[in-house]
Structure 1
Amino acid sequence: MLHPALRAPLAALALTLTAVAAHAADWPAKPIKFVVPFGPGGANDLVARAVAEAAAKQLGQPIIIDNKPGAGSVLGSDIVAKSAPDGYTFLAPAGGIITNPLIKAKMPYAPDALVPVALMAVSPSLIVVPADSPYKDLKSLVAGSKQGQGLNFSTAGTGSTPHFVAEMLKVGAGAKLQIVPYKSGSEGVVAVIGKQVDATSEASVVTLPQIKGGKLRAVASTWNRRIAALPDVPTAQEQGFGNVFIGHWSGVFAPKGTPEDILNKMNAAINTALKSPELRARLIPQGIDPLGGSRADFVKFLDDEKKRLTPIVKAAQMKED
């Protein structure tokens, strides 16, 4: 027979579990929030908005985008990590969720405070130079960097995707690049157009309009396949730079403790959204590759990214500014 002192706590636990199960069954009963840890207008924000709109149709509730930029995406991530795990607040970050803990001396939330839900899309980086640059491909750019003082390469700050591309070229190919950090990838691209620097790497959604407008030339893409919008631009790997592989990916995370049923429902809604012809027609022409997959697929993707990028951080001695 159960001791009387144990009956109340166990009864309370049973009631809590029943309430959580009922909550998950009724979810979503009100609007959902996607916190984007960047300002509006960038690749991550664009993907989050497009997917949120399409997934909302599957869930029957609106998904509101809440931009919370700051501290290299740590500010927004911290807000979600400390939010109630009730299925109404999610994070839509990029690669910084992996690289920030590698680079920063201290993080404001625990490593397991955010749970992977779904991989949404990737916007490959394009390594670009001014339209009239003498460099026509990645090999000539790297070779040119080894002459004299080297070349200037703009980035969006320490740990940004363009910073990783520059370090991959330095570590793997011996490129002589002086890294020039800007506040954003867009500013780094403007610096290339204005010839304040010789090259950069930035998401295709940012660089494509400038390439098509005749202001930039793409010398390589940095994903594992050519992008549909620029089929004539070979990947870095195709040009012999096997270690240059990175993209501006976007995913969805939830606070730890969010019920499994809710995580699975959100994953299913995002996957259905990513397969819709309307969403694909919206993303693919901008160089954004809709991905999706199971929650386990996303966990493997994150593990692979961490294994691949950690040696670059160490070799380049990347530390927060």
Structure 2
Amino acid sequence: MKNIWALAVAFAASVAATAAITTALAQPAPGAQLNLIVGFAAGGSADSIARVVGNRLGEKHNRKIVVENRPGAGANIATRAVIGATPDGSTLLVSTAALAINETLYRNKGFSVDALRTIAVVATTPEVFAVNPANPGQTLADFVQQNRGKEITFATAGIGTSSHIAAEYFFSQLVKTEARHVPFRGGPDATNAVLGGHVPMVVSSLSGFASQVAGGQLTGLAVAADQRVAVIGKVPTFTEAGYPGFKAMSWVGFFAPSATPSAELVRLNKEIDDIVREPAIRERLIAIGFDPMNATQPEAETYFRREVEQWRKMVQTLGLSVE
């Protein structure tokens, strides 16, 4: 009997030691560098959130955080760089709905999203249609009615963006009218074109011009979300404006090479999710037009895959493609 108890105690001690070693191996060494590769220029929403989350990760976990901007090719350059990185959780991609859109939009991008795993989707922001306050169409119904039989012109921050595809889909499939897209080099340029009266409408994710819509410099006609957004609470949803079910969201998420161990993905998800739950971080995201999102790693993966399919439907319906 004594031998049995001795063996049991020894086994328990061995299991505990193994668990301690496993836990230690799962944690990065203090000061270990974490590289966040952003597919967009500095100052944009993806870059801003990468830095906000990255700074807190560095503070809370004693890690050196390096945010690197690699814009170009619709963010595909950054994506390829991360796919080719060592899959140990030290190099992550920070991207937006562009990642889901590009899976269908680009014919020869050189990769599939199957080469990535989703760590976390930290915030979402709906597409918003807005006009100059001097425009005679100050509701979506009035704007559409006054432009019946005409070619509606709208501005966005570029070709193949979530704003561009959402607007094209809305006008061609739901309104059944001609629309001309005027792409600009960035959201501020597109917004300024409408503020200056050069283009009648701008379509953007709310994070691109939340302050102008909230402050009345732009009139929001409709928000492509399930419900109204607090920061622009007077702007109705598309369902309320007479187009039930129309929804188009952008978001910011963190991704890793697909061979990254699942335990590392779960650990990173927990660290990032804890940061997004912090009141100061949540308030900061809400103020710039984002809705903070909390989800486990599997839930984030499911969300991303649904986004790929939703944007695939829109892109294929519109017949859009980029070489």
TM-score clears 0.5 = yes
2 CA distance for matches of 1:99 and 1:202? 16
What is the one-letter code of the residue matched to 2:270?
A
What is the one-letter code of the residue matched to 1:72?
G
1 CA distance for matches of 2:260 and 2:25? 9
From the superposition, tell whether residues 200 and 28 of structure 1 become closer, same or farther in structure 2 (CA, over 3 Å): farther
Deviation at 1:22?
8.0
2 CA distance for matches of 1:242 and 1:280? 29
Q: Which segment is superposed worse, 132-141 or 114-123?
A: 132-141
Q: Deviations over 1:69-116 (max 9, x none)?
A: 111111111111111112111001001111112011112224321111
| Counterpart in the other structure of 2:16 | none
1:97 matched to 2:99? The reply is yes
1 CA distance for matches of 2:63 and 2:222? 41
1:186 matched to 2:184? The reply is no
**Aligned pairs for 1:105-184 within 5 A:** 105-147=107-149, 149-170=150-171, 171-184=173-186
| Alpha-carbon contact 1:51-1:120 (below 8 Å) kept | no
1 CA distance for matches of 2:167 and 2:262? 39
Deviation at 1:240?
2.2
Superposition TM-score, scaled by structure 1 size: 0.87
| Counterpart in the other structure of 1:83 | 85
2 CA distance for matches of 1:203 and 1:46? 15
Deviation at 1:21?
6.2
| Alpha-carbon contact 2:105-2:321 (below 8 Å) kept | yes
SS in 1 for 2:230: coil
1 CA distance for matches of 2:223 and 2:79? 28
| Counterpart in the other structure of 1:249 | 251
Deviation at 1:155?
2.1
What is the one-letter code of the residue matched to 2:53?
V
What is the one-letter code of the residue matched to 1:165?
A
From the superposition, tell whether residues 21 and 167 of structure 1 become closer, same or farther in structure 2 (CA, over 3 Å): farther
Deviation at 1:243?
4.4
Q: Which segment is superposed worse, 192-201 or 93-102?
A: 192-201
SS in 2 for 1:93: strand
SS in 2 for 1:207: helix
1:67 matched to 2:69? The reply is yes
| Match 1:221 to one of 216, 223, 246 | 223
Superposition TM-score, scaled by structure 2 size: 0.87
2 CA distance for matches of 1:278 and 1:22? 30
| Counterpart in the other structure of 2:12 | none
2 CA distance for matches of 1:276 and 1:241? 36
2 CA distance for matches of 1:245 and 1:60? 40
Q: Matched residues, percent identical?
A: 26
SS in 1 for 2:275: helix
Q: Which segment is superposed worse, 200-209 or 99-108?
A: 200-209
Deviation at 1:318?
1.1
SS in 1 for 2:95: coil
Deviation at 1:311?
2.1
| Counterpart in the other structure of 2:11 | none
Q: Aligned Cα RMSD in Å?
A: 2.0
What is the one-letter code of the residue matched to 1:161?
S
| Counterpart in the other structure of 2:33 | 31
SS in 2 for 1:229: helix
| Counterpart in the other structure of 2:293 | 291
Larger C-alpha radius of gyration, 1 or 2? 2
Deviation at 1:54?
2.6
2 CA distance for matches of 1:209 and 1:249? 18
From the superposition, tell whether residues 40 and 127 of structure 1 become closer, same or farther in structure 2 (CA, over 3 Å): same
Q: Deviations over 1:201-226 (max 9, x none)?
A: 11222212223454311111112221
| Counterpart in the other structure of 1:235 | 237
1 CA distance for matches of 2:298 and 2:23? 25
Deviation at 1:24?
4.4
| Counterpart in the other structure of 2:276 | 274
1 CA distance for matches of 2:303 and 2:296? 11
| Counterpart in the other structure of 1:203 | 205
Deviation at 1:269?
0.6
2 CA distance for matches of 1:223 and 1:24? 42
Q: Deviations over 1:222-268 (max 9, x none)?
A: 12221111111111122222343112200000012112222111100
